[in-house]
Each structure stands twice: as C-alpha cells, then as structure tokens.
Amino acid sequence: MAGISGIFWGVMAGPDRHWRVLFVAGLLAGGFVIHTVVGTPIPEQSDAPLPLVALSGLLVGFGTRIGGGCTSGHGVCGIGRQSLRSIVATLTFMAAGVLTVFVIRHIVGGAL
C-alpha cells in the first residue's frame, strides 16, 4: 500500500524505516523546492487559528488509525484494488468533507 499514513507510521514503528524516511523526506523537500521556486506557500497560508489547525491534524491522524488508512491509501490504492472497505471509506471521507464545508460556510458563517 502507498498510503501516506501507513508510510509515515512505518517511519516511527516499522522495521523497514530507511525507504520510508527517504519517502517522507522527499515529500518535505518537494514542498520546500516548490515554495522556493514559486515564492509563496502552496496552498496559500491559512488564517485559521493555530489551535483549530492543530486539533484538525490530530483528528485526521486519529481517523486514519481508526479507518485503517488515509484518504490516499483508500482512495487511490484501495479503490484501485476494488476493495469494498476502501470504497465505503472514501465515500465517507468525501461526505464528511462536503458536510464540514457546508457547516462552516453556511451555518457557522464564514470560511475559517
């Protein structure tokens, strides 16, 4: 599986850490190179409060452990393998994202 959460978890807990460390380092280096070449953050810097961003990250990490993988693992690899579990997980991710945006923009009253 090529899901990022599984690869990242393996950096901390896996027996085959070497390639995983290089993979994660490549992701970070790629972002740094793009930022340096373009000169602006991609995506643009958020105005969201740091505690909200931190809580969001923790919830995503917690969700990937409960869901047995992240959006890239389920959405790309799992659907490609025609895994029913991954198809259901991806539909759940998408529905939760749509619902979250709707609530933030139309009920809470603005983009965070």
Tokens standing for 77?
A: 């690899």
Confidence class of residue 72 from pLDDT cuts 50, 70 and 90?
Answer: confident
Chain-wide mean pLDDT for the chain?
A: 84
The 3-class SS string of 81-102 reads: CCCHHHHHHHHHHHHHHHHHHH
d(CA 106, CA 93): 20
Q: Which pTM value belongs to this model?
A: 0.58
Per-residue pLDDT at 99 = 94
Per-residue pLDDT at 16 = 87
d(CA 44, CA 41): 5
**Cα–Cα distances in Å, from 68 out to 1, 27, 44, 83, 93?**
11, 22, 30, 13, 13
Give per-residue pLDDT as tens, 22-40: 999 998 899 889 888 988 7
Higher-confidence residue of 4 and 79: namely 79
